[in-house]
Structure 1
Amino acid sequence: MSAITLFGILDVLGTFVFGLSGAMVAIRRQLDIFGILVLAAATGVAGGIVRDLLLGDTPPAVFSTLRPLSAVCAAAVCAFFFGALIDRLKRPVMLFDAIGLGVFAVAGCEKALAHGLAAPGAILLGVITAIGGGMLRDMMATEVPRVLREEVYALAALAGAAIYVIALRLGLTETIAASAGVLLAVALRIASVRFGWQLPRAPGS
C-alpha cells in the first residue's frame, strides 16, 4: 500500500470515527438531526482544519474535497439510525474518540513531516490535529473538554505521534510506523480509562 493511499484511508477513518463520537454526544444531548450533523461535522473536521491552516495548506481539505464531509455525514446517519445499537457498546464515545485520537495524531504528524517540519513540531501538530475536534465537540455540548479533565488524552496522542516518528527514524516502513503509532495511542487512551491512570495534580487540588 502506498503512503498516499494509507494516509488517505487514515484521514477518512479518523474523520468518520470522530464524527461518530460527536453524533453520539449530540444524541445523548437530545439534539435533532441537524444538531447531530453539526456536532458530527465539528468533531470530525475541526482538527484537520486547524492543521491545514497552521501548515499554510489552504483552502483546508474539508473545503476542497468531498471526502471529509461525506465521512461526517455518513457518521451522522449511522448514529441517527443505529444509535441505540451503538450505545450497547461499553462507553462508545470514549471508544470512537480513542480511535480518532490515534488516527489523527499519526495522520497530522505525517502531513507536518511532508511539509518539512522538524520532528518536534510535527509531533506537536499531530497532537493538535488529534485533540482539536474533541475539544470543539465538548465545548459545543457545554462540557469541560476531555483534554483538560480525562486521565490520559493529549498524552496518548503525543505518544502515538512520537512513536510514528521514532519508527520512521529506525527505518521501518510507513505502514508499520503508522500502525504502531495508532495502536499505541488507542491502547493508552483505553487503558487509562480502564485502569484510572491519572497525571500528577497540584498538591491540595
Structure 2
Amino acid sequence: MLLELFTPSVQHALDLAGIFVFAISGALLAVRKNFDVFGIAVLAEVTALGGGLLRDLIIGAVPPAAFTDTGYFVMPLVATVLVFFLHPQVERIQNGVNVFDAAGLGLFCVTGTTKAYEYGLGLTYSAVLGLATAVGGGVLRDVLANEVPSLLRWDRDLYAVPAIVGAVMVVLCIQFDVLNAFTSGLAVVTAFVLRLLAMRFHWRAPRAWNRRSSAVEEG
C-alpha cells in the first residue's frame, strides 16, 4: 500500500460516515421528488456508493468494495429508514448535513486518488478518479432524479473545485515523494474548508465570457 492515512478500523469508520452522509443527501432528494420507499433506497445507495463503484470498476479493483463490505451496503439503508420516517427533522438540520457532506467530499477525493495511483494509474488520471470518487455518486443521483447534475449548474456553490484541489494536492505530494499521513490529512482539510467557504460565501465558477444566454437562476 502506498499510504495508510489512518488505521484500518478508523479508515473504515470514516468511510462509513461519509457513505451515510452522502446517502442522506440522496434520500432527501428522493423524498422531495415524491419517490416511494424503494426509490428512496435506490437513490441513497447510488449517491453513497456510485463514485467508489465507478472508480473500482475503472481500475480493476473487482469485486468493488461496495460488494465486499456489508457495512457499505447497509449504511445507505439505515439512512433510508431515517429519512423515510424523520425527513422533516433531517431537513431542518440540512446545514449540519452539508458540513459532514463537505468532510466526506474531502476524504473521498484523497482516498480515491490514492487508491487509483496504487492500482497503477498515472498522476493525472489518479486525480481524475479522485474527483470521480468524490462527486460521481451525486451526479448519478441527479441523473436518476431527472435533474441537471448540481456539478454542472452555474447557480450552485463550488463542489467539484474543492475536490479537484484535494486530488491535485495528493498527486503533487506523490510526484515530490512527500505523501504521508500529514500531507494527506492536509489535502482532506483543504478540500473540506474550501467547500465550507464556497457554501458560506456562495462561490461559483465563472460562466462563458460575453455569454448571450437568457438562463435565469433557479430558486
Normalising by the smaller structure, the TM-score range is 0.7 to 0.9
Structure 2 unpaired stretches of 5+: 214-219
Work out whether 1:173 is the aligned partner of 2:180: yes
Structure 1 unpaired stretches of 5+: none
> Which sits farther off after the overlay, 94-103 or 188-197?
94-103
**TM-score normalised to structure 2 length:** 0.82
Tell me, in whole angstroms, the C-alpha distance in 2 between the residues paired with 1:141 and 1:198.
Answer: 23
Structure having the larger proportion of residues in helix: 1
The answer on whether the counterparts of 1:20 and 1:96 sit within 8 Å (CA) in structure 2 is: no
Residue pairs, 1:47-58, within 5 angstroms: 47-58=51-62
Instruction: Using the TM superposition, give the Cα deviation of residue 39 of structure 1 relative to its aligned residue in structure 2, in angstroms.
Output: 0.7
Tell me, in whole angstroms, the C-alpha distance in 2 between the residues paired with 1:7 and 1:118.
Answer: 24
The answer on whether the counterparts of 1:152 and 1:198 sit within 8 Å (CA) in structure 2 is: yes
Work out whether 1:113 is the aligned partner of 2:117: yes
Instruction: Using the TM superposition, give the Cα deviation of residue 96 of structure 1 relative to its aligned residue in structure 2, in angstroms.
Output: 4.7
> Which sits farther off after the overlay, 150-159 or 85-94?
85-94
The answer for the alignment partner of 1:162 in structure 2 is 168
**TM-score normalised to structure 1 length:** 0.87
The answer for the alignment partner of 1:65 in structure 2 is 69
The answer on whether the counterparts of 1:135 and 1:146 sit within 8 Å (CA) in structure 2 is: yes
Tell me, in whole angstroms, the C-alpha distance in 1 between the residues paired with 2:29 and 2:188.
Answer: 23
The answer for the alignment partner of 2:193 in structure 1 is 187
Give the root-mean-square deviation of aligned CA atoms: 2.3
Tell me, in whole angstroms, the C-alpha distance in 1 between the residues paired with 2:90 and 2:10.
Answer: 27
Instruction: Using the TM superposition, give the Cα deviation of residue 3 of structure 1 relative to its aligned residue in structure 2, in angstroms.
Output: 4.8
Query: Larger radius of gyration, structure 1 or 2?
Result: 2
The answer on whether the counterparts of 2:170 and 2:179 sit within 8 Å (CA) in structure 1 is: no
The answer for the alignment partner of 1:152 in structure 2 is 158
Residue pairs, 1:55-94, within 5 angstroms: 55-91=59-95, 94=98
Instruction: Using the TM superposition, give the Cα deviation of residue 103 of structure 1 relative to its aligned residue in structure 2, in angstroms.
Output: 2.2
The answer on whether the counterparts of 1:10 and 1:107 sit within 8 Å (CA) in structure 2 is: no
CA-to-partner distance for each residue in 1:51-103, whole Å, 9 max, x for gaps?
00110111212122212101211221222233222211244664454233222
Residue pairs, 1:27-66, within 5 angstroms: 27-66=31-70
Aligned CA distance change for structure 1 residues 170 and 57 (closer, same or farther; 3 Å): closer
One-letter identity of the residue aligned with 1:151:
D
CA-to-partner distance for each residue in 1:128-182, whole Å, 9 max, x for gaps?
11111000111122211011013312111111122334456463632x3333222
Tell me, in whole angstroms, the C-alpha distance in 2 between the residues paired with 1:154 and 1:117.
Answer: 21
Tell me, in whole angstroms, the C-alpha distance in 2 between the residues paired with 1:161 and 1:21.
Answer: 23
Q: What secondary structure is seen at the aligned counterpart in 2 of 1:198?
A: coil
Aligned residues: 204
The answer for the alignment partner of 2:104 in structure 1 is 100
The answer for the alignment partner of 2:205 in structure 1 is 199
The answer for the alignment partner of 1:9 in structure 2 is 13
Q: Which consecutive segments of 4 or more residues in structure 1 shift more than 3 A?
A: 1-7, 90-97, 164-173
CA-to-partner distance for each residue in 1:15-56, whole Å, 9 max, x for gaps?
111111101111222222222111100101111110001101
